[in-house]
Chain A
């Protein structure tokens, strides 16, 4: 049954379908609609779960991990400053091997403070041990939450998962979403049974204990890494089961007009839709350009990325984030995935766009393509990440600087 729902409602609907039992919460824009819906459904007895508002995201994630270890299927959600406030506990919850699912509704990080999305929030958590699935559409959001529980609770993985959706562009945007039947979801995702059984008086256990031995520390930390890597195969397996039941297929990456493309733009999340529209335009003008969207960012699917980009003339990576002092965050990861390929593209160029939710216009996509073409034909490669920022963008900022009393600002 298709309904026109927001990305936030898609998350909440999936959580309900997954028979989640426990929801620790803390409000933050643009995530709040998720917890408002869930709390309402619980109060209306449409959902059998417990909802608790905590004093902070740090506390919320602590409680989520704890409840999951004891044996309740747990969901939580955050965004931006909230995710950063919880940061210490992200590392703990993955170290506890607690299979929670966290929806992060991407929002750029202060300062300056803003509301619209980029991925500095979620990518800051890339080393935490949480798996990361980044969705492009509201349908993918709903499906990814359901898949996330199955991957997370798989004994080969048993790690928490972040499902990322862009604030505003997905969180508050209604799209037609096929909502699966409860019976099918329950068939796909059976009851959560924790590995060590439920924690109770009969089954005492020590959790989160100090490890003073560096050997033991190295062992446990590397176990996390191996478990995360297992998720690459587990995702493919689960994706096949998902397709069989629901008829929709998700890969680790999503490709668009890639096969015969000479030039490829790499993107993530909802802005990939803008990218695909640009590809359509450029194809119409006879340009052989395609798009690769990375859906699973942790574990990072190096192998498939290298395969998909092998033999291309040049690749442009659009990072909707900025590692201050370095550039795009995903760019070096993609470049290193290709280093040992014999068919490595001649150039791989880093672009930064969409910061704070700034749209990427067709002129910016044209600029990317021409930069790629130039790099291929005349060996000219920008050393630093190229910032996508148009004359119009600059004009509007100059106007604001003037109002803020900074006078006339010259230069480009």
Chain B
């Protein structure tokens, strides 16, 4: 389809999320929400589960020009179904003008998306709910101080997986939410990155032609949790893609296509930028773990159709 987002200059100028919130400086997730809302426009209701972004709207303020609805940690997709259904009922009865219809956006972190809220998400996708779902994946429970979630990567340090002589941080693999979602056969699933705004805008645009679940998982560098400076967020996000750790892809009706397929940098370059992986390099370099991480990425990409 013809895109209205050919270059970064095509980012809509209108702000839907205005400045002045409690969100951490440099938050990758907040940047994503800002762009996402710009692309969706003003007739949106953002349905939120407990997490960092819950701190966006704190009484008596909201940074959103459009509607906001904080629900609970486990059931934002269920409440989104209630909102969607009620809007449809009221439009059908002419109680709401169809030009004032709202797009429903579920906004949650990875803890809600891959754990406590996975059941309600699965049900919403299975019912074919017409909605957008944006997961800001900062790979831990960041809002509560960075404890391990089901999305925390192998060997990363979190507040509940401190590296010691016998532990290398998180000992399990990151849950593959993209594939879990894709198994439900929704019309659209994609991964996105705050370092690849054009790719992100085009994906949102592409997804909007489909009625049904439109699902996005966004790499969201978290300065306090990952141990990076606020001004390094985009660089780290960029390296996540360029080392192949964060594949940019989409699946339209289940068919996967990668939207970034260039020569990859060594994973080590990404790991070295963050304190959560510092124990792999200091006091001594842990080649075994670094090689495991590299191999996992290599194995992934060797399975990708060129």
Contact = CB atoms under 8 A, between A and B. Distances in A.
Interface size class of B (residues with CB under 8 A): 35 or more
Given A200-B96, A200-B102, A201-B43, A206 B85 contact: no
Contact of B59 (A59, A200, A201, A211): A211
A52 B120 CA distance: 13
Interface string B41-70: 011010100000011011110101111111
Contacts of B90: 70-72, 198, 200
B221 to A, nearest CB: 24
B78 A60 contact: yes
Most chain A CB atoms below 10 A, which of B43, B80, B86, B119:
B86
A288 interface: no
Most chain A CB atoms below 10 A, which of B66, B90, B97:
B90
A62 B62 CA distance: 22
B83 A67 contact: yes
A42 to B, nearest CB: 12
Contacts of B69: 66, 69, 206-208
Given A66-B79, A70-B86, A206-B62, A200 B72 contact: no
A206 B82 contact: no
A204 B120 contact: no
A55 B82 contact: no
A221 B66 CA distance: 26
Contacts of A89: 72, 75
Given A22-B82, A71-B86, A62 B71 contact: yes
B9 interface: no
Majority SS at the chain A contact face: mixed
A204 B67 contact: yes
A70 B68 contact: no
Given A67-B85, A70-B87, A211-B59, A62 B79 contact: yes
A29 interface: no
A135 B80 CA distance: 33
A54 interface: yes
The 9 A-B pairs with the shortest beta carbon distances in the complex, nearest first, are: A63-B82, A66-B82, A59-B78, A55-B123, A70-B86, A201-B100, A62-B75, A200-B100, A67-B86
Interface of B: 42-43, 45, 47, 54-55, 57-60, 62, 64-72, 74-83, 85-90, 95-97, 99-102, 119-120, 122-123, 127
A249 B71 CA distance: 38
Given A59-B75, A206-B64, 4 more contacts: A58-B78, A89-B75, A202-B100, A205-B67
B80 A66 contact: yes
B56 to A, nearest CB: 9
Contacts of B47: 66
B75 A204 contact: no
8 contacts: A24-B82, A59-B119, A63-B82, A200-B101, A204-B66, A207-B69, A208-B70, A210-B55
A281 interface: no
A58 B75 contact: yes
B87 A200 contact: yes
Interface string A63-104: 111111111101000000000000011001000000000000
A199 B46 CA distance: 13
Given A21-B89, A56-B120, A71-B95, A206 B78 contact: no
B59 A62 contact: no
Contact of A70 (B60, B82, B122, B123): B82
Given A22-B89, A70-B87, A209 B70 contact: yes
B33 to A, nearest CB: 15
Contacts of A92: 71-72
A250 to B, nearest CB: 30
Contacts of A74: 82, 86
A66 B80 CA distance: 8
Given A210-B57, A213-B59, A66 B87 contact: no
A366 interface: no
Contact of A62 (B72, B88, B99, B100): B72
A208 B83 CA distance: 14
Nearest to B80: A66
Given A22-B82, A66-B86, A209-B70, A198 B96 contact: yes
Nearest to B95: A198
